[in-house]
Amino acid sequence: MCGIVGIIGHSPVNQAIYDGLTLLQHRGQDAAGIVTIDEENRFRLRKANGLVSEVFRQEHMLRLQGNVGIGHVRYPTAGSSSVSEAQPFYVNSPYGLTLVHNGNLTNNAELKQRLFTLAKRHVNTNSDSEALLNIFAHYLDQYPAEPLTPDNIFETVRKTNEVIRGAYACLAMIIGYGMVAFRDPYGIRPLVLGKREENGKTEYMFASESIALDIVGFEYVRDVQPGEAIYITFDGQFHSAICADNPKLNPCIFEYVYFARPDSVIDGVSVYAARVHMGRLLGEKIATQWQDILPEIDVVIPIPETSTDIALQIANVLNKPYRQGFVKNRYVARTFIMPGQAQRKSSVRRKLNPIAAEFKDKTILLVDDSIVRGTTSEQIVEMARQAGAKKVYFASAAPEIRYPNVYGIDMPTCEELVAYDRSVEQVAEMIGVDRLVFQDLSDLFKSVQLENPTIHNFDASVFTGEYITGDVDKEYLNCIAQARNDKAKANLAQQATNLEIHNES
């Protein structure tokens, strides 16, 4: 999962894009980048590995001149963590193009081949986003006559949609013309549009989550629709069109479970409200299914931070005390971002510390938003026991995650998922708890649909193994398992280290 921001303004946008990226930092901490267009129609680019606050220093901000720009925070799934795969990506032809992408394409290898045979275009990295940009560039290049019209751009997006597969929310800038925002025909990854009036002129902003608009000072207008492209010229003309046949909203349900900030609204659903419903429904399930052990539970404790809103609801439904028994060091990055299992393990302990009094001689119900690999959960349970807990029960606000994610979440192989091929009892044993409960998938859907009943389908492939884009088979899953397991990632990072091009340091 990544975060993207784009602004078409009438005054310098560097600070606003920086602020927007900081607000989306939870969506990716591996790399960050911004590109602007200066007065002489040149791209100004800065990207590097690290957090937004580490990547951009005063000297970079001064160089990022211009009233329009796009930015990206990266969470690596396809490809490696190398800086050569940090975004935005750039190609010089036609016109000069830059692009940022959130999501993951499922036919990257085929696209690279197609680009080479059709257009003699070379893709220098393993990044699907670089392939995506080149596909877009290739089709845009089919319109020789100047000026480029909105129809040319919509036709380009339509052709791009026809050949690329997977999940994508993108922003592209075309020198001399404008910014194009487009979202895949399933609307898997989120993208919102905002605007504001400054000195009588309209400025526009796109962002992965509404929270970025709110804080930067733009008013939420609407979500970009599945299969839609919005083209805004640099002088402020607004055009939009649906560029796919039968587009249908299937948002990624994991955005609501874990990724998005609770204060964001995605596809008409308040993430916070959805989590409150998740807690209530899970609480009701526990109340019916755990009647034998309910009287024993002394306290409900969330595993910070995503699950706090959920745990509070469970405590309310069960009529039990809610206590924040773990203190989080918020200056340690999320553990799953770490490339190898060993680092992932040690960083859990650095991140969380129990308040002994909340555990000593108590039977506790721990709540997390989900159980993925089980490494965090196992260590947290161990910590709870070391702090004196008599018994540890565990509730997961998401159902069992059993299948890899191919749309931009780093869950590449079945074997790394603790619930794969295991029963609830076996998972309980693996993570060391006395009893475990998972949310029912129908209740998870309901939690989101209660906020927006017009959403009928979701990308819920990590729970069901059904991939809505219809092109994901066993062979592809084997392929990504090979390419993206922890060992392969370490190798890739090594290989890609020196590939960096077009970047200001």
Residues catalogued as catalytic? 2
Contacts to ligand AMP from residues 262-321, by CB under 6 A? 306
Lookup result for tokens 């937004």: 52
Specify the residue, 81 or 376, whose C-beta has the smaller distance to ligand AMP.
376
CA 498 to chain centroid: 26
Q: How far is the CB of 462 from ligand AMP (least distance, A)?
A: 9
Q: How far is the CB of 329 from ligand AMP (least distance, A)?
A: 16
Residue 333 tokens read as 């990055």
Instruction: Select from 22-30, 83-91, 362-370, 448-456 the region that touches ligand AMP (CB under 6 A).
Output: 362-370
Establish whether 368 is an annotated binding residue. yes
**Hey, how many other C-beta atoms are within 10 angstroms of the C-beta on 27?**
25
Instruction: Select from 25-33, 150-158, 169-177, 374-382 the region that touches ligand AMP (CB under 6 A).
Output: 374-382
Give the residue from 420, 368, 433 showing the smallest Cα distance to 396: 368
Residue 501 tokens read as 């091009």
Cα 19 to Cα 55, 79, 138: the distances in Å are 13, 27, 33
User: Which residue number places its CB atom closest to ligand AMP?
Assistant: 376
Contacts to ligand AMP from residues 405-434, by CB under 6 A? 409-411
Instruction: Select from 91-99, 100-108, 156-164, 404-412 the region that touches ligand AMP (CB under 6 A).
Output: 404-412
Specify the residue, 210 or 405, whose C-beta has the smaller distance to ligand AMP.
405
Contact between 469 and ligand AMP by CB under 6 A: the answer reads no
Establish whether 306 is an annotated binding residue. yes
Dihedral sign of CA atoms 109, 113, 115, 116 in order? positive
Q: Which of 29, 134, 208, 377 binds ligand AMP (CB under 6 A)?
A: 377
Residue type, 247: P
Rg value, the chain, Cα = 23
Q: Which of 220, 336, 420, 476 binds ligand AMP (CB under 6 A)?
A: 336
**Hey, how many other C-beta atoms are within 10 angstroms of the C-beta on 44?**
18
Q: Which of 273, 274, 372, 387 binds ligand AMP (CB under 6 A)?
A: 372
Q: Which of 74, 373, 435, 484 binds ligand AMP (CB under 6 A)?
A: 373
- Whether the CB-CB separation of 228 and 183 falls below 8 Å is answered with yes
* Total residue length of the chain: 505
Specify the residue, 203 or 378, whose C-beta has the smaller distance to ligand AMP.
378
Q: How far is the CB of 28 from ligand AMP (least distance, A)?
A: 11
Give the residue from 328, 301, 325 showing the smallest Cα distance to 312: 301
Q: Which of 205, 300, 352, 371 binds ligand AMP (CB under 6 A)?
A: 371
Beta bridge partners of 48: 32
Establish whether 369 is an annotated binding residue. yes
Give the residue from 281, 249, 276 showing the smallest Cα distance to 459: 249
Give the residue from 286, 336, 285 showing the smallest Cα distance to 306: 336
Give the binding site for ligand AMP (CB under 6 A).
258, 306, 336, 368-377, 409-411
Q: Binding site membership for Mg(2+): which residues?
A: 306, 368-369
Q: Binding site membership: which residues?
A: 306, 368-369
